[in-house]
Amino acid sequence: MKKYTSSHCWLFVLILLICGSCQSNEKQHFRIGFSQCGMDDRWREEMVEGMNRELSFYPELSMILKDSKWNNQTQYAQIEELINLPVDLLIVSPNDSKLLEPVITKAYQKGIPVLVVDRRVFSDQFTAFVGANNLVVGQHAGEYANILLNGHGRVLEVGFGPRTAPAIGRHNGFHSVIQKYPHIQYVDYLNKDWADKDLREALTQKLSKNPNLTDLIFAHNDRCALIAYDVCKNLGIEKKVKFIGVDGLVGNNLGLDLVKKGIINATILYPTGGEESIRIAAKILRKQAFEKENELFTSVIDAQNVNIMLAQLNKLKEQHADIERQATRIKDLTKIFSSQQAVLYLSFFFLILLLLLGAVLFYLFRDRQESNVRLSEQNEAILNQKNEIERISLLAKQATEDKLRFYSYISHEFRTPLSLILTPTQDILHRKTLDARETRQAFLLIQKNANRLLRLVDQLLELRKVDSGKMELNRQQHDLVSFIKDIVNDFQVKAKSQQIDLQFICPFKTLPFSFDAEKLDKVFFNIISNAFKYTPDGGAIHISLLKNVEKLEILIADNGIGMTQEEKERAFDLFYRGNQNISLGTGLGLALSREFLTLHQGEIEVESQKGKGTTFKIILPMLASEDIEGISQMPHYTKEDIEPTVVVDTPAVQHHENTLVLIEDNPDLRLFLKQKLQQFYNVVSVETAEAGWTEILSNIPDLIISDVMLPGMDGFSLTQKIKNDFRSSHIPVILLTAKGQTENQIEGTRAGADAYIPKPFNQQFLEEKIKGLLDNRDRMRRRFSGEITNPSQIQKGERKFLVEFELLLEKHLTESTLSVEKLSRELGMSRVQLFRKISALTNKNVTDYIADFKLLKAKALLKESDKTISEIAYELGFNNPSYFTTFFKQKTHQTPSEWRNS
Ligand code: FRU
């Protein structure tokens, strides 16, 4: 659900207010329909002008004007048209009131307000009437005629339509007044829907017959009065006839002008009612109070008041002009205003649109931002999930690798004791006669290794138990001091045999403590065994016990080979992936120890420095009221478990031709192999690859046997080192290892090993292998003993060595003082190393090799050069040419000259 914020609500309210204010400003507009009977005279023009002028004050009113051009049917139809539009109000200035009455009634009955102007209808079916009273107009004319005629004379009346209301009204008024005066004679009434020329003709006809017919003509409007005057003038009687007109319009040859010029004697003012009708129409439309009958003022205008009238009317006209100007101005301003208003509204509209758009954009932006945030949150979550999955899969991969490694370690760890069970067994089985001492030793070895296998299996099972949470703690109170002391004592025999200084340092005589003796026994046993494993003969292992109120600390410190930082960090990790040389026995033992200590709410820490030693710190929390009473019997490992060295090192009795260097960290296997091999070879046995390398360099042996998994440098690295160093590169290497997989063999071969024998191995097979490799080397030596330079059969590395050696010889050939020491120094070897190397490769000693080299060189020089024998002798480093001749003859049984000439 999207939330509408308060800003959205405010915007909505603002829009409503703006729309409301726009609506309230807009006034209701009215349409007025105006049916005018004719427009071809000034009076009616003035009526329309007056209306328009007035309309300018009512912007809400507009007018539709219809001119019927004096045709009654047309006017009728036009009124109907206006009804049907419909208009809001109808103004009718009828021609023939009688004829138009039905359509006016129709409009009125339809609910359209009808305003009749000038000529009234005879029904009451209209809303209002505006116009002057024609009866009064006629009466004014009658009275004024009497005045003009001074009570005596004849009058002629001219009307403009028998059925029109003004004609009827004016005639009735005039006639009724004239009748009052006995000496005024009403001569005739000429009344028709005159066209001007028809009237002119009719009057001419009438007066030309009898020019004295009348003394006064009353015409119903000024236009007809002027026609009458014209006719009289034509007849030359205009001076004796008086004229009265109606309308009193301002303008050239209109009513007032005619009076002023003396053409007519008077005019009866008859206002058009234009302005008034609009005023009343507005009142009706605005639903304001109005009069139904609105009579307009009328009066007589003659020479007496025409000027005042004119002045007033001109003033009025000027005012009208002003008004019109102002109206135009107002109109213009209104136009400007409305266009500005339109612009304003438009701007307002666009502003609102803009605001709306802005709001929408803002909303969209916010929405987008929110969805972006959501999206990035989702992305992050996905990324986290991905990372988590990757992490878990990495962990799973590592766990699988660890497990695989663990299993390969297990098999490795099982292979060494198995070798030490199988090899002596095979040995005994192959013997024809059995020596009691040797047989006992073999069985001790078998027993020890069977026990070792058993212990390994036990440890594995215990770890599994801890892992599955089934291991329980059986705490009982014991004296911790005597407990540790007993364990340490058990190791004393081993310590003595290895000249290791083993001490238990404790400030207390007793220390009651509640613990699971069986488990802590394994912990101490493991850690002390471990210390022994990595402490060389002659080293020290010190165990100390410290205590404060809260905890106990037991330190097991040795000055053995120590650990690297990585080995230290992973010391307790069962599936340790780092240096593969760490023994599973250690790994299992330490991992198990940590688990047992955790069960005691204790901890184990390790401090170690490579080459300096290792200290394990066991921390056990002091529990409440440890007391000495009730100390129970403490089970612990038997002395047999301490892995005594069962194979006794018997010194070699014989000296043999070939020397072997044997590198094996398992003391039993090392001694076992040594004993077996020293029957045929001189054997130098060591525990580590580092020690092995030292022995190799000092002895330059004929063959090397090495284990692969060794503490420190492993067998592969050692092999590489041997094969890359020209002092030792010629020595065959046999890798003897528990790592039996093909890939390990490939690794060994790649390192340059000459043979790879997996454990458990067959002793006879090993012996045959050694023999084979040595024979091979001898064969090779024999083959090359006759040649000197660059024998192609020699291994590439060795060939390189010989080439380098011969180059060195070339360089120093002329020197008579050239010695083996000097050559070996330049090669970075000792004299013995060089001697052994050349001898191993060529079966010659270095001196013989140099002599043979010089001989070959001499032979070549004698045959291929012109040099003298003396020159050759010096060139080959002989101080004296006769020495050279003796040397040459000794080797070839020919003198150099004989050789050259042969
Ligand atoms: C104009 C006119 C006026 C007269 C009026 C009466 O058409 O003849 O001269 O006063 O009509 O309706």
Question: What pLDDT shows up at residue 640?
Answer: 54
Q: Which of 171, 247, 254 to mutate to test the pocket of ligand 1 (most atoms within 8 A of CB)?
A: 247
Atom of ligand 1 nearest to the CA of 165: 12
Residue 35 has pLDDT above 90, yes or no: yes
What does the mean pLDDT of the chain come to?
85
3-state secondary structure of 520: helix
Q: Under a CB-based contact definition with an 8 Å cutoff, are residues 322 and 330 in contact?
A: no
3-state secondary structure of 484: helix
Atom of ligand 1 nearest to the CA of 247: 10
- At 876, the amino acid letter reads L
Measured in angstroms, how far is the CA atom of residue 95 from the centroid of ligand 1? 10
Which pair of tokens denotes residue 449? 């290794």
Q: Under a CB-based contact definition with an 8 Å cutoff, are residues 727 and 837 in contact?
A: yes
Measured in angstroms, how far is the CA atom of residue 261 from the centroid of ligand 1? 22
Overall average pLDDT of the 617-636 stretch? 62
Q: How do residues 465-496 score in pLDDT, each as one tens digit?
A: 777 777 788 888 889 999 999 889 888 888 88
Overall average pLDDT of the 530-541 stretch? 89
- Where do the H-state alpha helices sit in 187-263? 196-209, 222-235, 255-261
637 pocket-lining for ligand 1 (C-beta < 6 Å): no
Q: Which residue has the tokens 């040397």?
A: 887
pLDDT higher for 750 or 263? 263
Distance separating alpha carbons of residues 333 and 246, to the nearest angstrom: 40
Distance separating alpha carbons of residues 445 and 453, to the nearest angstrom: 12
Measured in angstroms, how far is the CA atom of residue 82 from the centroid of ligand 1? 24
Q: Which candidate, 738, 746, 686, 748, places its Cα nearest to that of 715?
A: 748
- What Å distances lie between residue 20 and 30, 167, 343, CA to CA? 22, 55, 18
| Kind of pairing between the strands at 512-515 and 476-479 | antiparallel
Question: What pLDDT shows up at residue 787?
Answer: 47
Residues whose CB is less than 8 angstroms from the CB of residue 100 and which lie 6 or more positions away in sequence, other chains included: 72, 75, 76, 79, 92, 94, 121
Sign of dihedral through CA atoms 642, 646, 648, 649? negative
Which pair of tokens denotes residue 845? 């000693």
Atom of ligand 1 nearest to the CA of 164: 12
Atom of ligand 1 nearest to the CA of 246: 10
Q: How do residues 149-165 score in pLDDT, each as one tens digit?
A: 999 999 999 998 888 88
Q: Under a CB-based contact definition with an 8 Å cutoff, are residues 562 and 611 in contact?
A: yes
68-82, 300-314, 592-606, 627-641: range with highest mean pLDDT: 68-82
Count of CB atoms situated within 10 Å of the CB of 634: 18
Q: Under a CB-based contact definition with an 8 Å cutoff, are residues 722 and 740 in contact?
A: no
Q: Under a CB-based contact definition with an 8 Å cutoff, are residues 221 and 166 in contact?
A: no
Q: How do residues 731-782 score in pLDDT, each as one tens digit?
A: 899 998 766 566 677 777 777 888 888 877 788 889 999 998 888 777 666 5
Residue 789 has pLDDT above 50, yes or no: no
Overall average pLDDT of the 580-600 stretch? 70
Distance separating alpha carbons of residues 504 and 349, to the nearest angstrom: 99
Question: What pLDDT shows up at residue 305?
Answer: 93
Distance separating alpha carbons of residues 328 and 573, to the nearest angstrom: 106
Question: What pLDDT shows up at residue 637?
Answer: 55
* Exposure letters 842-872 (e unless 16+ CB within 10 A, then b): bbbebeebbebbbbebbbebbeeeeeebeeb
pLDDT higher for 816 or 234? 234
Going across the sheet that includes 733-737, the strands are: 682-686, 659-663, 703-707, 733-737, 755-758
Q: What are the beta bridge partners of residue 603? A: 619
270 pocket-lining for ligand 1 (C-beta < 6 Å): yes
Distance separating alpha carbons of residues 298 and 800, to the nearest angstrom: 152
Instruction: Bin 477: left if φ > 0, else alpha if -120 < ψ < 50, else beta.
Output: beta
Distance separating alpha carbons of residues 459 and 591, to the nearest angstrom: 10
44 pocket-lining for ligand 1 (C-beta < 6 Å): yes
Measured in angstroms, how far is the CA atom of residue 146 from the centroid of ligand 1? 24
504 pocket-lining for ligand 1 (C-beta < 6 Å): no
Atom of ligand 1 nearest to the CA of 118: 12
Measured in angstroms, how far is the CA atom of residue 43 from the centroid of ligand 1? 7
Question: What pLDDT shows up at residue 198?
Answer: 94
Distance separating alpha carbons of residues 220 and 225, to the nearest angstrom: 8
Residue 5 has pLDDT above 70, yes or no: no
Q: How do residues 390-404 score in pLDDT, each as one tens digit?
A: 888 888 887 777 677
Measured in angstroms, how far is the CA atom of residue 159 from the centroid of ligand 1? 10
* Exposure letters 800-818 (e unless 16+ CB within 10 A, then b): ebbeebbeebeeeeeeeeb
* Cα-Cα end-to-end distance for the chain: 117
Distance separating alpha carbons of residues 178 and 151, to the nearest angstrom: 9
Q: What is the 8-class DSSP label of residue 412?
A: H
Distance separating alpha carbons of residues 93 and 121, to the nearest angstrom: 10
Distance separating alpha carbons of residues 614 and 637, to the nearest angstrom: 23
> CATH number of the domain at 133-272+297-314, out of 3.40.50.2300, 3.30.70.2740, 3.30.470.20, 3.10.20.30?
3.40.50.2300
For the structural domain made of 472-642, what CATH number should be given?
3.30.565.10
Residue 172 belongs to what H/E stretch?
helix 165-178
In this structure, which residue's CA is closest to atom 3 in ligand 1?
221
Q: Which of 220, 223, 253, 264 to mutate to test the pocket of ligand 1 (most atoms within 8 A of CB)?
A: 220
Measured in angstroms, how far is the CA atom of residue 221 from the centroid of ligand 1? 6
Domain ranges of the chain: 133-272+297-314, 346-437, 472-642, 659-784, 796-823+847-901
Overall average pLDDT of the 506-535 stretch? 88
* Exposure letters 206-240 (e unless 16+ CB within 10 A, then b): bbeeeeebbbbbbbbbbbbbbbbbbbbeeeebbee
- Tell me which of 75-84, 277-286, 441-450, 492-501 is least confident: 441-450
pLDDT higher for 650 or 533? 533
Give the 3-state secondary structure of 363-389: HHHHHHHHHHHHHHHHHHHHHHHHHHH
Which pair of tokens denotes residue 208? 């030309």
Question: What pLDDT shows up at residue 22?
Answer: 47
Measured in angstroms, how far is the CA atom of residue 38 from the centroid of ligand 1? 10
Whether the bond into 86 is cis, omega within 30 of 0: yes
Sign of dihedral through CA atoms 384, 390, 394, 399? positive
In this structure, which residue's CA is closest to atom 8 in ligand 1?
221
Residue 261, phi then psi, degrees to nearest 5: -75, -10
Burial of 252 (0-12, 13-18, 19+ CB in 10 A): exposed
Please give the CATH topology (third level) of the domain spanning 659-784.
Rossmann fold (3.40.50)
Q: Under a CB-based contact definition with an 8 Å cutoff, are residues 669 and 415 in contact?
A: no
Residue 584 has pLDDT above 50, yes or no: no
417 pocket-lining for ligand 1 (C-beta < 6 Å): no
Q: Which residue has the tokens 């699971």?
A: 516
Q: Which of 39, 221, 277 to mutate to test the pocket of ligand 1 (most atoms within 8 A of CB)?
A: 221
Overall average pLDDT of the 679-693 stretch? 92
pLDDT band of residue 603 (cuts 50, 70, 90) is very high
- Tell me which of 69-73, 408-412, 772-776 is least confident: 408-412
Measured in angstroms, how far is the CA atom of residue 119 from the centroid of ligand 1? 9
Residue 108 has pLDDT above 90, yes or no: yes
pLDDT higher for 374 or 143? 143
CATH architecture of the region 796-823+847-901: Orthogonal Bundle (1.10)
687 pocket-lining for ligand 1 (C-beta < 6 Å): no
In this structure, which residue's CA is closest to atom 4 in ligand 1?
221
119 pocket-lining for ligand 1 (C-beta < 6 Å): yes
3-state secondary structure of 50: helix
Overall average pLDDT of the 324-341 stretch? 79
Q: Under a CB-based contact definition with an 8 Å cutoff, are residues 422 and 445 in contact?
A: no
3-state secondary structure of 238: coil
User: What percent of the chain is helix, strand and coil (3-state, nearest 5)?
Assistant: 55, 15, 30
Atom of ligand 1 nearest to the CA of 93: 12
In this structure, which residue's CA is closest to atom 1 in ligand 1?
43
- Where do the H-state alpha helices sit in 700-795? 715-724, 742-751, 763-784
- What Å distances lie between residue 681 and 652, 662, 675, 677, 702, CA to CA? 9, 11, 10, 6, 10
Distance separating alpha carbons of residues 231 and 206, to the nearest angstrom: 10
Question: What pLDDT shows up at residue 473?
Answer: 83
3-state secondary structure of 546: strand
247 pocket-lining for ligand 1 (C-beta < 6 Å): yes
- Tell me which of 154-158, 240-244, 546-550, 624-628 is least confident: 624-628
194 pocket-lining for ligand 1 (C-beta < 6 Å): no
Measured in angstroms, how far is the CA atom of residue 220 from the centroid of ligand 1? 8
- Tell me which of 217-221, 224-228, 858-862 is least confident: 858-862
Overall average pLDDT of the 41-57 stretch? 92
Burial of 548 (0-12, 13-18, 19+ CB in 10 A): exposed
Residues whose CB is less than 8 angstroms from the CB of residue 480 and which lie 6 or more positions away in sequence, other chains included: 511, 512, 513, 515, 545, 552
Task: Say whether 659-784 and 133-272+297-314 share the same fold.
Answer: yes
Distance separating alpha carbons of residues 861 and 879, to the nearest angstrom: 18
Angle between helices 584-599 and 306-430 (to 10 degrees): 120
Q: Which residue has the tokens 């729309």?
A: 19
Question: What pLDDT shows up at residue 245?
Answer: 97
pLDDT higher for 320 or 232? 232
Residue 852 has pLDDT above 50, yes or no: yes
pLDDT higher for 466 or 658? 658
Residue 604 has pLDDT above 80, yes or no: yes
pLDDT band of residue 455 (cuts 50, 70, 90) is confident
- Tell me which of 23-27, 748-752, 808-812, 893-897 is least confident: 23-27
Measured in angstroms, how far is the CA atom of residue 58 from the centroid of ligand 1? 27
Question: What pLDDT shows up at residue 579?
Answer: 44
Which pair of tokens denotes residue 381? 């979550």
43 pocket-lining for ligand 1 (C-beta < 6 Å): yes
Q: Please give the share of the chain, as a percent, with pLDDT higher than 90.
A: 39
Distance separating alpha carbons of residues 764 and 368, to the nearest angstrom: 82
Residues whose CB is less than 8 angstroms from the CB of residue 249 and which lie 6 or more positions away in sequence, other chains included: 42, 43, 46, 222, 255, 256
Measured in angstroms, how far is the CA atom of residue 240 from the centroid of ligand 1? 27
Whether the bond into 760 is cis, omega within 30 of 0: yes
Which pair of tokens denotes residue 304? 């007496």
